[in-house]
Chains A and B, each alone.
Chain A
Amino acid sequence: MISMLRIEEPGLHTTIQDKGRYGYQQFGIVPSGPMDPYAYRMANLLVGNDDGEAAIESTMIGPSLLFLENSVIAVTGANLSPTLDGKKIPMWGSVYVHKGQELRFGKPKHGARAYIALAGGIQSETTLESRSTYTKAKLGGLKGEALGGGDELPGMDIPDTELQNRKGKFLSEDLRPFYQSHHMVRVIPDVQEGYFTKESLQTFYTHSYKISPQSDRMGYRLQGQEIEHKQSAEILSDAVAFGSIQVPSDGNPIVLLADRQTTGGYPKIGTIISHDLWKVAQLLPGQTLSFQRSSVDEGHRWLKYENNLYKKLHMAVHQK
């Protein structure tokens, strides 16, 4: 294991995330993992990593990273204007980086979260089988915290011939998502939608909701037309999922995201289909979301599509 890079400036909220810490939800430990699973997965794929390796997630204001070794990196997700030694570098592709070069970010253009993967992945220590950072319980990452200035990230020593093989892979334009200031997402209704009035459900599926400033990796609080409960705004607590939308007594929906609590005591109106989670993850406070009724079958169709796409791309990347 060698030190691959040093954090010169950490940016706003920069964390190490791998595919997530699964298997512990029954004990109250949330999986965490990337907010935008698609951009994260593509970043790893482009640098030739196995699915699920640890990468860097950066929010809004990117970090400055000094490379201590030669490497191959890919920057995906939000366009935060990445530069290498002051020169603009392309996103959604693998780029060779020399020892001593500095990756910086500038003006955020589109989206909220960028992913930086490096060949071999970040090899920080695992806690409960995962490197994903969960700051609330100080799990994963480096000592359970977001990255700070001076932190050095360990990685794999990869021979230069292999690095040369891994550079220069680009994702075709049509597979790069377009981040807008409004996204429509599809929702699988929950049986607990029975807790809400008919009119309110209609309202929910026909109006736009604004992402409030109280939004982070845990969840997004939404502002807009309030949702009315028929009677009680409380349920006997039960498990939630990535993308579940719960509505507390004030009527303002909350979308639960990567660092959510594992269980909740408010009724859920539904859960966003997995394929649409990137749309939520890339929205900023002040931007808007709207919802469309969907079904498990539709969610599954898109999961299948994603998996098939990944398989094809994986083959293409690993072809000589």
Chain B
Amino acid sequence: MEPIYSPLGDRAVRITFGNKLSEETNDIVTQMYDKIESAKLPYISEMVPGYVTLTIYYAQEKARDYHSVIQQLESIVNDSRTTEMERSKTRKLTIPVLYGGEKGPDLGVVAQHSDMSEEEVIQRHESSIYRVYMMGFAPGFPYLGGLDESIATPRRQTPRNFVAAGSVGIAGPQTGVYSIDSPGGWQIIGHTPVKLFNPLQKKPILLRAGDEISFQSVSEQEYKKIIKECEKGNYTHDIEWKEHRGGSL
């Protein structure tokens, strides 16, 4: 599909690259983010990647007019279509999780709904590779794709008033990690000691659109050890760099 340029109010432009959720389209979004970012257009204040869109916020007083903003964006996007895509490698992160028990009170519900043992649910949840399609909803919250369909479970009928940051949950075909304390209706199957959002750190957000993550079951002992390391600030994230998948318009 041809990219569609449309206004989001008078201070942002949305480029829509497709109308169906796919890794290919999401790859294009991340690549275009990089292309536009490296063009350093003086009026762009920030950009937000979506599943199939890229939204570009601009300062009106620094731009000539809407038309010229679109023209410049169009030429960057079109240039990228004829040249080979080059992108920094994809990051792959491993997120440690203490599954079940007090930290994962709904693991039994998911097991029952999926008609398998709790161990099997854990095994399936950690054997997938999840893609961060986009960030949003709350600070540091990743929209993940790639949940094994066999453990998809509907949300709780009554949401909890409090779900702690770090809780790992399942909601229908999605899985995710609560990045801040909040009310929520996801089925909570575990908890990660790693902070997805820490405003006191220089890099306050762990993940970004385009990342790949996987979950790894840890024992209670390891879990406690990681909490201590995080508090002291000497926990090192398990990050692997992969050659980029590539993709073109």
Contacts and interface: CB of A to CB of B under 8 A. Distances in A.
A1 interface: no
Contact of A191 (B9, B16, B197): B16
A73 interface: no
A25 B55 CA distance: 10
Given A25-B46, A303-B60, A238 B137 contact: no
B136 A188 contact: no
A272 B6 CA distance: 15
Chain A interface, DSSP helix/strand/loop, else mixed: mixed
Contacts of B179: 28
Interface string B32-54: 00000000000001111111110
A263 interface: yes
A271 B45 contact: no
Given A23-B46, A25-B48, A271 B9 contact: yes
Given A296-B66, A297-B66, A191 B6 contact: yes
A236 B45 contact: no
Contact of A244 (B8, B52, B138): B8
B4 A28 contact: no
Nearest to B55: A239
A237 to B, nearest CB: 6
Nearest to A30: B139
A137 B195 CA distance: 13
Contacts of B135: 26-28, 262-263
Given A188-B9, A296-B7, A300-B10, A263 B50 contact: yes
B141 interface: yes
A137 B178 CA distance: 12
Q: Which of B46, B53, B137, B139 has the most CB of A within 10 A?
A: B139
B180 A137 contact: yes
Contacts of A244: 8-9
Nearest to A298: B10
Contacts of B199: 127-128, 137, 139
Nearest to B207: A27
A9 to B, nearest CB: 28
A29 B143 CA distance: 14
A190 B50 CA distance: 16
Given A128-B204, A241-B11, A300 B6 contact: no
A261 interface: yes
Instruction: Give the interface size bracket for A toward B.
Output: 35 or more
B109 interface: no
Contact of A26 (B12, B49, B138): B49
A27 B205 contact: yes
Contacts of B51: 236-238
Contacts of B46: 22-26
B139 A239 contact: no
A136 interface: yes
Contacts of A191: 4, 6, 14, 16
B9 A238 contact: no
Q: Which of A241, A296, A307 has the most CB of B within 10 A?
A: A296
Contacts of B156: none
Contacts of B138: 28, 136-137, 261
Contacts of A253: none
Given A26-B49, A296-B66, A272 B9 contact: yes
Contact of B208 (A26, A188, A241): A26
A285 B11 CA distance: 27
A240 interface: yes
A274 B10 contact: yes
Given A24-B139, A238-B14, A262-B136, 18 more contacts: A23-B45, A26-B48, A26-B209, A27-B204, A28-B139, A127-B199, A137-B199, A190-B7, A190-B8, A191-B16, A236-B19, A236-B51, A237-B50, A237-B137, A238-B48, A262-B137, A263-B50, A300-B60
**Considering the complex of A and B, which 5 residue pairs feature the smallest CB-CB distances, nearest first?**
A299-B10, A263-B136, A271-B9, A238-B50, A239-B55
Interface of A: 22-29, 127-128, 136-139, 188, 190-191, 236-244, 261-263, 268, 271-274, 296-297, 299-300, 303-304, 307
28 contacts: A24-B139, A25-B48, A26-B47, A26-B48, A26-B208, A27-B204, A27-B208, A137-B138, A137-B180, A188-B7, A190-B8, A191-B14, A236-B21, A236-B51, A237-B137, A237-B143, A238-B51, A262-B137, A263-B48, A263-B135, A273-B10, A274-B9, A274-B11, A296-B7, A296-B66, A297-B66, A304-B61, A307-B61
